Amino acid sequence: MPIGRTITSWTFSQMLWDAGDSPRQGFLGALWALRKLLVALAASIVLSWREWVEHHPPEIALIATMHFVFVFALIVLLVYCAQRIRKKAVKHS
């Protein structure tokens, strides 16, 4: 499998729609599955809110997008590291 498909598959299954072991259904299940994406969105809104006074509307859209990308990348890195640490801990047990 090419690396691009592997990254895309992992991003979708682990970051964008991760229901985990949750038996939740319906709207609450969807919110739980999208929790990482929603956290990134909320964090980027908070970071952009502080910048709102200093920038004009076209600039704030670019800044909000940058905040979202960086926060989501940080969450991706944290999830990936946590999975690697958990996998190593299971191997050594």
Nearest one of 82, 20, 55 to 90, comparing CA atoms? 82
For 28-78, the pLDDT digits (tens) are 777 777 788 888 889 998 888 877 777 788 888 888 899 999 998 888 888
Given a contact cutoff of 8 angstroms between Cβ atoms, the answer to whether 39 and 75 are in contact is yes
d(CA 14, CA 7): 10
- Say yes or no to pLDDT of 21 above 70: no
Nearest one of 4, 3, 5, 82 to 36, comparing CA atoms? 82
The domain of 67 spans 3-92
**Which residues have a Cβ under 8 Å from the Cβ of 36 and sit 6 or more positions away?**
15, 16, 18, 75, 79
- Say yes or no to pLDDT of 2 above 80: no
The predicted structure's pLDDT at residue 79: 84
Band of pLDDT at residue 83, cut at 50, 70 and 90: confident
- The torsion angles phi and psi of 85, rounded to 5 degrees, stand at -65, -40
Number of domains in the chain: 1
User: CA angle 12-18-19, nearest 5°?
Assistant: 145
pTM across the whole model: 0.73
The predicted structure's pLDDT at residue 24: 67
The predicted structure's pLDDT at residue 4: 67
The predicted structure's pLDDT at residue 92: 73
